């Protein structure tokens, strides 16, 4: 890059570059592309050299330190006696690096005291902007799904209410999956969240909540099978974002919703 870079006649300083990037994202350009197509079958195999022990130690906390951080999370969450206090405690928990790159803290949404509590994976870009879980297209899909069995986030009645949250309250960079260390740090807060919200049934939407609650993954294999998580009946379901990408899976999701309705009686 030159000392005075330009882009189509505009001076490309840091603010201009950021504005261009945001403009492209708003237009839907959310994936980087090369100028020319590349045949990746012709590329040589990449040789990944594992980092030396000294480098690995510099990027990964010692195991004892990880245990200390989990113990700190357990102490903070256990001290919270209300959902508001729990949200404050979790938002102020600085041990997880993920929070530094997110715009907003996304704690929960919906009818507190609802019989159904949906646990999703992580906030997406729209959630991060609004500070609420399950917004945007995924949120609209989720609302339509549960409206079909008479449940809604904005219901004033706990019997027909819906309460939603995620395993992680901060959006990971690039919408990547939650890492095991991140799940472990947020698990004490999630357990306390369930205790304070007092749902009757949990819906585990996606692999991340299944990992957190069941220590299992493979949502396409787990979905539709009732199990027990955190001492409550729980049903794994595919995430609304998956249904948007795979419309044929909506038939299975409808069967899962009918199963939930039957469980509610």
Instruction: Check if the beta carbon of residue 222 is closer than 8 Å to that of residue 201.
Output: no
- Per-residue pLDDT tens digits for 149-201: 999 999 999 999 999 999 999 999 988 999 999 999 999 999 999 999 999 99
Instruction: Check if the beta carbon of residue 236 is closer than 8 Å to that of residue 225.
Output: yes
Averaged pLDDT score across all residues of the chain: 86
Instruction: Check if the beta carbon of residue 78 is closer than 8 Å to that of residue 187.
Output: no
- Residue 2 binned pLDDT confidence (cut-offs 50, 70, 90): very low
Q: CA-CA distance, 122 to 169, in Å (whole number)? A: 7
Point out the least confidently predicted range of 14-23, 106-115, 119-128, 247-256: 14-23
User: Which domains are delineated in the chain?
Assistant: 63-264 (3.40.470.10)
Distances (CA, A) of 15 to 20, 24, 230, 235: 9, 14, 47, 46
Please give the helix or strand (H or E) that residue 236 lies within, else none.
strand 232-237
Helix (H, G, I), strand (E, B) or coil at 143: helix
63-79 and 180-197 helices, crossing angle to 10°: 20
Give which of 21, 14, 170 is closest to 101, Cα–Cα. Answer: 170
Q: Is the pLDDT of residue 53 over 60?
A: no
* Total-model pTM: 0.76
- Per-residue pLDDT tens digits for 85-106: 999 999 999 999 989 999 999 9
Higher-scoring residue by pLDDT: 214, 9: 214
Q: Is the pLDDT of residue 58 over 70?
A: no
- Residue 110 binned pLDDT confidence (cut-offs 50, 70, 90): very high
Give which of 68, 114, 107, 69 is closest to 88, Cα–Cα. Answer: 107
Question: What percent of the chain is modeled with pLDDT above 70?
Answer: 75
pLDDT of residue 167: 98
């Amino acid at each position: 890059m030159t000392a005075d870079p330009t882009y189509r006649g505009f001076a490309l300083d840091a603010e201009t570059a950021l504005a261009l990037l945001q403009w492209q994202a708003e237009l839907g350009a959310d994936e980087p592309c090369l100028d020319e197509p590349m045949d990746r079958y012709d590329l040589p195999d990449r040789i990944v050299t594992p980092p030396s022990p000294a480098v690995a130690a510099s990027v990964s906390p010692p195991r004892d330190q990880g245990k200390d951080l989990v113990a700190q999370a357990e102490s903070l969450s256990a001290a919270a006696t209300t959902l508001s206090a729990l949200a404050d405690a979790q938002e102020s928990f600085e041990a997880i690096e993920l929070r530094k790159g997110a715009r907003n803290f996304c704690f929960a949404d919906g009818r507190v005291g609802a019989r159904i509590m949906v646990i999703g994976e992580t906030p997406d870009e729209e959630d991060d902007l609004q500070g609420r879980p399950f917004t945007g297209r995924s949120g609209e899909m989720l609302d339509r799904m549960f409206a079909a069995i008479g449940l809604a986030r904005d219901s004033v009645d706990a019997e027909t209410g819906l309460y939603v949250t995620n395993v992680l309250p901060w959006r990971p960079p690039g919408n990547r999956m939650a890492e095991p260390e991140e799940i472990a740090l947020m698990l004490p807060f999630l357990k306390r969240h369930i205790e304070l919200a007092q749902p009757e049934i949990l819906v585990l939407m996606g692999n991340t909540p299944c990992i957190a609650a069941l220590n299992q993954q493979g949502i396409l294999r787990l979905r539709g099978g009732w199990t027990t998580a955190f001492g409550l009946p729980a049903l794994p379901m595919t995430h609304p974002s998956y249904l948007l990408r795979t419309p044929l899976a909506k038939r299975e999701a409808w069967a899962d919703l009918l199963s939930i309705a039957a469980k509610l009686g």
